Amino acid sequence: MRYYDKLIFELSKKGRTGFSLKTEKIGHCNLYSDCAGLLRKDEVCLPEVSETDVVRHYTNLSQMNFGVDTGFYPLGSCTMKYNPKINEEIAAMPTFNNIHPLQDKKTAEGAEEACKILEKVLCSITGMKRFTFLPCAGAHGELTGLMIIRSYHLDKGDLQRKKIIVPDSAHGTNPASAAVCGLEIVEVKSNERGLIDTDVLQQTIDSIGDELAGIMMTNPNTLGLFEQDIKIIAEMIHKAGGLLYYDGANMNPLIGVARPGDMGFDVMHLNLHKSFSTPHGGGGPGSGPVGVCEKLIPFIGVKVSGFHGNFGVMLRALTYILMLGKQNVKMVGKLATLNANYIKESLKDKYKLPIPTVCKHEFVFDGLINDGAKDGVEGATTLDIAKRLLDYGFHAPTIYFPLLFHQALMIEPTETESKETIDEFIEVMRKIADEAAENPEMLHAAPHNTPISRPDETTAARNPIVKWEN
Ligand SMILES: *Cc1c(COP(=O)(O)O)cnc(C)c1O
């Protein structure tokens, strides 16, 4: 019997219970005689099931979803890496978990110390001078960082500096945050190598003049490519009176290898819930601390959330960093980069690789080389590949993002996966490519082995039915 075929109410049998405590041994109050007035008028509608039914039902339900704890999750631009369980233990310690933001400071010195250590470690990893932990997500950090840039210009009397340059290879949240901050976005197009062209950038800077607030960059950008001209770019922007914002949500490939502070960035955010192994997804608590260079320290106090930010997430990140230790932290960037390049090179004879250079922690394919299209039969698409991966027990990579290609398939293995897992993934991706070439129609109908196949995605997201109705 497949337990997930039934709702818990459908497993119910009149009179069945999940416990067998002796009633005479528990409690002092007989509800029926002592508190008759408090009793319900009607029977409560609860399922009547045995303990075995309940345990199997919920355990099976938990397996219907895909998570980092159940399998490989190569979602590009999201860093779904392993979340060590020690992080959870430390964050759950009563001495951390039971404190209140308003309690006497003297009684929370340990927590304060933990924040200070984390700030110091992040400064040394990024080359920034101070961090604020108030922002609760990456995009929240972007908004905070941009507010800091705005405050800096306003303080100097530069009221007109309201234009921000955002390359087309930036993460989608960048232009959105800039718009929320009241800035005007000026896009620069990437060149054929997927990088910023310094000539094009200079023209853009010149056309903006003294209205330039700065530039927002994701480096490595959303194609997983490192902007090699970053030092020149920094000089150009600074010379024009602008500041450089660094989107460090995906700091993985740089950890232990290079520092945004050294490249000339003035302000940045990190996603502790990506690069520093704290759980994310489902809109759960995140942390997007913002770091600044020396001259922006006076503006770091913007109040963007209550109290001290998501302290539990900060503790998890600190635990991860301390657990790795100085030597192993230096391996994070190298391993993340090695793993991504290994997958890319192992699959590029089957998948189209529009930008064939060395990547950082992630890279983008543009669909299959042979998608199996024949007369009257449509070839297998990126969506088909993503769905078919589920049949083999792998989560799909990011699909149809970035928007620079039609069949984008963005893969990020992270540094926490073993070679064996990565090899299995490569084998399955090759197998799917062969299946597509022979029988694309089978792929159009995938997944075949999951509890549900292809729901209407809009309806599933907008009008999910999550409640049992009699
Ligand atoms: C995920 C991500 C963000 C946004 O972070 P959230 O915590 O989801 O708000 C911003 N930039 C990049 C490059 C990202 O990958």
Q: What local confidence, expressed as pLDDT, does residue 221 receive?
A: 85
> Nearest residue CA, atom 15 of ligand 1?
77
Q: Is the CB of 224 under 6 A from ligand 1?
A: no
Residues whose CB falls within 8 Å of the CB of residue 128, separated by 6 or more in sequence, listed in order: 122, 260, 261, 267, 268, 291, 292, 293
Q: Is 50 left (phi over 0), alpha (psi -120 to 50) or beta?
A: beta
Q: What local confidence, expressed as pLDDT, does residue 443 receive?
A: 97
Q: What local confidence, expressed as pLDDT, does residue 1 receive?
A: 46
Q: What local confidence, expressed as pLDDT, does residue 431 receive?
A: 98
Residues of the chain with pLDDT under 70: 1-4, 21-29, 31, 282-283, 470
Q: What local confidence, expressed as pLDDT, does residue 378 receive?
A: 96
Distance CA 204, CA 215 (A): 11
Q: What local confidence, expressed as pLDDT, does residue 284 receive?
A: 72
Q: What local confidence, expressed as pLDDT, does residue 29 receive?
A: 66
* Alpha carbon of 249 to ligand 1 centroid (Å): 5
Tell me: cis bond preceding 455? Omega within 30 of 0 counts. Answer: no
CA atoms within 13 A on the CB side of 289: 31
* Alpha carbon of 273 to ligand 1 centroid (Å): 10
Give the ligand 1 atom nearest the CA of 274: 1
Distance CA 207, CA 199 (A): 12
* Alpha carbon of 265 to ligand 1 centroid (Å): 18
* Alpha carbon of 234 to ligand 1 centroid (Å): 22
Q: Is the CB of 219 under 6 A from ligand 1?
A: no
Contact 266, 400 (CB under 8 A): no
Residue 196 DSSP label: B
